[in-house]
Amino acid sequence: MNFENIDINTRLKNKLKEVRFKNLTLIQEKCIPEILDGKDVVGQAETGSGKTLAFCLPILNMNNPNKGLQVLVLTPTRELCIQVTDVFRDFGKNLGIKAIDIYGGVNIKSQIRDIKSANIVIATPGRLLDHIGRRTIDLRNIRFLILDETDKMLEMGFIDDVEKIIYNLPRERQTLMFSATISEDVYCIARKHLKNPVMFRTKQFVDTDKLNQKYYDIYNQNDKFSLLVHLLKNSTSGLAIVFCATRKETDIVARNLRQQGVNASEIHGGMGQNKRLKSLEQLKNQKIDVLVATDVAARGLDIKDVSHVYNYDVPKTPKEYIHRIGRTARAGENGNAVTLLTSRDHDNFRRVQSDDKLRIEQADFPRFEKVSFFRGYNRRRKQYLKDS
């Protein structure tokens, strides 16, 4: 379906032409007409499937800039909060609609000031509850509630926060839920807070026919980083994402990659907000080639043109593995998912391989140069802690 065929404001259609969006994605085609019709909607869609526009366009179309705060969007992470806000701002500016983001880790005073003139608030649960407790936000006229990445919000333990927030909203409202997976917990939220919702599921956005999945069985743990450097320098074209299990490992791997001349940056939940924003900005402006990330920090971010996903640490479940590899092989492009397997990863990898739909083939071990890997600096001994 073409965007010209949907019943939205001409200025929104002009903006779509400006950014060269012509045809609706599957989730947009299914959800937009139902949202415009005033129905509650539950949409299952992977990151990159166009779900943000699926709720952004109809919500902007139904928003009145002269009636104050009418829309609340909840997101699990600060990065996603900023990303969704950018979409609302970009498409809403010609309509006179003001969207703001509120999240923790930054000064609250400017948020208190901006809320007074906002039509749309995109928020993380914790900081929003802070504003509710301070009585610096008035939610009495909220007409639309959107829960984005609902499954991740529940996985991160925000269920009680979400319930408290919903308790402070008007009962008469339109509620939309979007989630990468529809778990029993997500169903429970939908049954409790949505009215006769229309539910849509899209097929997995990753084209498995265009996705090359392979693993390297590494005998010597100390060869793991050397192999990663070799693959990034010799077998990777385009942007690569390297997934690590912990914040500490993310920092260490990114630092060592830079020492090997790889243009890399890291992102994880333990970083200061300015550093996280800097990494995202570098990625957006293509100033880095490799993003080293934890699952939580990368979840929900729409990162385009990813040619390779590297599992430096093996995920614990098939679900986590699928979320990771879903970053590549999008929109008809080829992609590569590479897992670096050492002895300590075998249990996790067996769980991943228990999903019969996954076709992960063992790759031939290449010749590569051994490089040093430093875990840190011992100030007492005044020397680097070296793995290899």
> Is 93:56 a contact under the CB 8 Å cutoff?
no
Contacts of 279 (CB under 8 A, 6+ apart): 265, 266, 267, 271, 288, 291
Q: What are the DSSP calls for 88-143, one per residue?
A: HHHHHGGGT--EEEE-SSS-SHHHHHHHTT-SEEEE-HHHHHHHHHHT----TT--
Residue 221's pLDDT is what?
A: 87
CA distance 260 to 369: 12
The yes-or-no verdict on residue 48 having pLDDT over 80 is no
Q: What is the total residue count of the chain?
A: 388
Amino acid at 135: R
This prediction's pTM? 0.73
CA-to-CA distance for 284 and 279, rounded, in angstroms?
Answer: 9
Q: How far is CA 326 from CA 301, 303, 309, 312, 332, in A?
A: 11, 11, 9, 16, 13
b (16+ CB within 10 A) / e for 60-91: bbbbeeeeebbbbbbbbbbbbbbbbbebbbeb
| 166 vs 221 pLDDT, higher one | 166
Closest by alpha carbon to 303, among 121, 70, 46? 46
pLDDT at 202 over 90: no
Which pLDDT band holds residue 186 (cuts at 50, 70, 90)? confident
Which CATH number among 3.40.50.300, 1.10.287.3510, 3.40.50.720, 3.50.50.60 corresponds to the domain 208-386? 3.40.50.300
Q: What is the pLDDT of residue 383?
A: 47
* Encoded amino acid at 195, one letter: K
The average pLDDT across 233-239 equals: 86
Helix/strand number for the chain, H first, E second: 15, 16
Distance CA 224, CA 227 (A): 5
More confident residue, 48 or 192: 192
C-alpha pair distances (Å), 119 with each of 52, 164, 322: 17, 21, 36
Region of poorest pLDDT, from 169-173, 371-375, 382-386: 382-386
The H-or-E segment that residue 178 falls in is: strand 174-179
Identical fold, 3-201 and 208-386: yes
Which pLDDT does position 279 carry in this prediction? 79
Instruction: Choose the weakest-confidence range: 22-26, 37-41, 69-73, 308-312.
Output: 22-26
Percent of the chain with pLDDT over 70: 90
Radius of gyration over alpha carbons of the chain, in Å? 22
* Among the four given CATH numbers 3.40.190.10, 3.40.50.300, 3.30.43.10, 3.30.70.260, the one describing domain 3-201: 3.40.50.300
User: Would you kindly state where each structural domain of the chain is located, as residue ranges?
Assistant: 3-201, 208-386
250 neighbors 292 (Cβ within 8 angstroms)? yes
**377 pLDDT more than 70:** no
Q: What is the pLDDT of residue 135?
A: 96
Per-residue pLDDT tens over the stretch 241-292? 999 999 999 999 999 999 999 999 998 877 776 777 777 778 777 788 899 9
How confident is the model over 122-128, as a mean pLDDT?
A: 96
Helical residues (DSSP H) of the chain, grouped into ranges: 10-18, 26-36, 51-62, 78-92, 109-115, 125-134, 150-155, 159-167, 184-193, 224-234, 247-259, 273-284, 295-298, 318-325, 346-353
**Of 163, 150, 137, nearest in space to 70 by CA:** 137
**Residue 301 pLDDT:** 67
Tokens of 312: 């430096």
